[in-house]
Structures are given as C-alpha cells and as structure tokens.
Amino acid sequence: MRDAFGTTFDVDGVYLNTPSIGLPPQPVVAAVTEAVTAWGRAETSAPQFDAPVATARAAFAQLVGVPASSVVLGTAVSGLLGLVAASLPPGARVLTADREFTSVTFPFVSAGHEVVELPLDELPERTRAADVVAVSVVASADGAVVDLDALRAEVGPDTLVVLDATQSLGWLPADLSWADVVVAGGYKWLLSPRGAAWMALSDRLAERIAPVQSGWYAGGWDAIYGLPLRLHPDARRFDLSPVWLAQVGAAVALPWIASLDAEAVRDHSVGLANRVRVGLDLPPAESAIVSVRHPDAPDRLGRAGVRCAVRGGAARLGFHLHNTEDDADEVVAAVRGRSRD
C-alpha cells in the first residue's frame, strides 16, 4: 500500500502505465466493489445511479472550468467526437498534430472531412486556414504538450477548437474553458473505470449538433416510452446512457482529484518525470509523460518489473499521484543497466 495525496493505493512494484490505464485509489475500488456486490444481491435499482452520474459530471465540469450544464455524458472519446464530426459541413478542413491519437482523428475522417496532419509546434500558426483544430492537450505517444496560449491567440474567430484532455486532465492545470470542445476518457489520469467519458461543449457548437445518438437518458425518466421526442434543454440532450459501474467509480475519483491542489499535483508528476530525464541525460520538459528511446529500454524496464507501455519503439512512462522518487530512480537504474541493491 502507498499513501499519497490523502488516499491509499494498493500497488506493488513500479507502475508507470497511467497513460494506458490509471491506477485507482482504494476508495474508488471500494465504491465499485460495493456496487457490484449490491448488484449481485439484487439490491440495485436504475434510479440510484443518477446521483453518481450527476456528481461525476459536476466534477468534470469543475476540472475543465465550465458549467455542468454544458457537459455531455458518453462512454468513449471517439463516440463523443463522432457527434461533433457529424455536425460539420461536408468536407470541412480539420487540422491536427502528427501522430495524433486516432480516437481524435478517425471520427472526422470517417465523416468525410479533410484532415491535415502538421508538426505540433506548427499547429497554432496554421489554424486560420482551418474550419476545425482537433488536438490532444498532451500527446499520447510521447507526452508532448500543445502550446495552449499560442493556439488560443492564433485561432480565428470562426475556427472550432477541439481539445482531447484524456492525457492531461488530472495532472495538468490549464484553462480549457475557451475551447469549443473538451473531451476526455476517465480511465487514465482520472482514475475511473473504463466506460466513462465526458465532453464539454461551447454554446455556439451545441446549437449546431443534432442529438442523433440520444436515447431515453437524454430525456430522463419522463421520456422512456412513446413519442413525441422530448429531451433535456441543456447538453444532457446529447447524453448516452451511462455505464453505471463506471460512473460509480468516477463519482468518487473525479471530485477527489478536483479537490487537490492542482499545482502540487503537476509539480509532483512533472518533477518525477524530470528526475528520470536528468538521470538519463534527457532535456527537462513540462510533461508527466516521458518517452525513453535508450537502447533496449523497454526490455530492461520489463526485466526490472517496471510496468509501462511501448510506443513507436520507445518506452512510455507516466508519473501520477501514486508514484515516488524511488520509482523514478528504479527507472534510471534499469535503463542504465545498474542494480539499486
């Protein structure tokens, strides 16, 4: 067990795979376990999940800096962005970053739009030639951070800005409220079960989107049978029916994360990542994700019991709330081929 940021994590060894699957704190595990147990005892009713859904939605809104009334409930980033892609005029020009995560790009390509990939550092200055800019705040492949200030300064008044905050929300404090879309999956840095995702919409974009995926949940308990169509008046009209158990976990994880000192979380995570960078003679950066391209790094880390992912031949390491200086030092020793004993 590890105590960190006022909670406990049940982790044994060096877990640095948060960019793939976040490690939930014990209160999240307990809440989901209790819900599963109640389900197995036939002690569950559908309306009792409305409260966790509302709690998680409000906490997501707090993290992004928007009202809860602008937040759409979904299950995955790609499905939520499919709504956005379907709302655009045919053949819209969409700018994105090289090697962008395909849950961001595929919905726009599948809808028939022109999607152009650019180097991340060139993206802000090219935005005025686009109908949409769709980019991750932090890149999944290597942890590169988009220059949000430059993007906001350069984007034209008619260009829609779509930000995927899946790899940033939970450790990177940033003002995202100005974007037209902020979307995130909950199962990585937000430490929730897979199956919970949210999307904040600007008013100008929400007016353009047709609720083509909406079912009964988009109208509420008074809209479960029969016509006419009747939907919530706010962003809930785009909701998908929730994955209940995922929302139970998210209702514990997101308010807790939102209650933390965001700067302290960033300093902790980035500080550990930079401890590794210094130890491996890499330049410092402002990301909690480290891409290690040293020879044999993935194999050496695997033999040392360090759990991480491999992206583009490099070991991808993500430092979050449960990680420690010992974890960072273990990475350096393993990649350097040294024992810490």
Q: What is the pLDDT of residues 30-64, one digit of tens each?
A: 999 999 999 999 999 999 999 999 999 999 999 99
Nearest alpha carbon to residue 285 among 296, 294, 276, 293 = 276
Q: What is the pLDDT of residues 246-303, one digit of tens each?
A: 999 999 999 999 999 999 999 999 999 999 999 999 999 999 999 999 889 999 999 9
Rounded Cα gap, residues 71 and 234, in angstroms: 9
Among left, alpha and beta (phi > 0; psi -120 to 50; other), residue 102 is alpha
Rounded Cα gap, residues 23 and 2, in angstroms: 12
Task: Give 293-302 contacts, CB < 8 A, sequence gap 24+.
Answer: 294/335, 297/335, 300/334, 300/335, 300/337, 301/331, 301/334, 301/335
pLDDT for 295? 84
pLDDT for 341? 54
143 half-sphere exposure, CB direction, 13 A CA radius: 29
pLDDT for 128? 87
Nearest alpha carbon to residue 321 among 1, 2, 3, 4 = 4
Write out 52-90 in H/E/C secondary structure: HHHHHHHHHHHHHCCCHHHEEEECCHHHHHHHHHHCCCC
In the chain, the percentage of residues whose pLDDT exceeds 70 is: 99
Q: What is the pLDDT of residues 213-237, one digit of tens each?
A: 999 999 999 999 999 999 999 999 9
Structure tokens at 235: 């962003």
Using the 8-state DSSP alphabet, how is residue 331 labeled?
Answer: H
Rounded Cα gap, residues 22 and 282, in angstroms: 25
The pTM (predicted TM-score) of the whole model is: 0.96
pLDDT for 340? 59
Evaluate if residue 129 carries a pLDDT over 90: no
Evaluate if residue 163 carries a pLDDT over 80: yes
Q: What is the mean pLDDT of the chain?
A: 97
Evaluate if residue 6 carries a pLDDT over 60: yes
CB atoms within 10 A of CB 292: 23
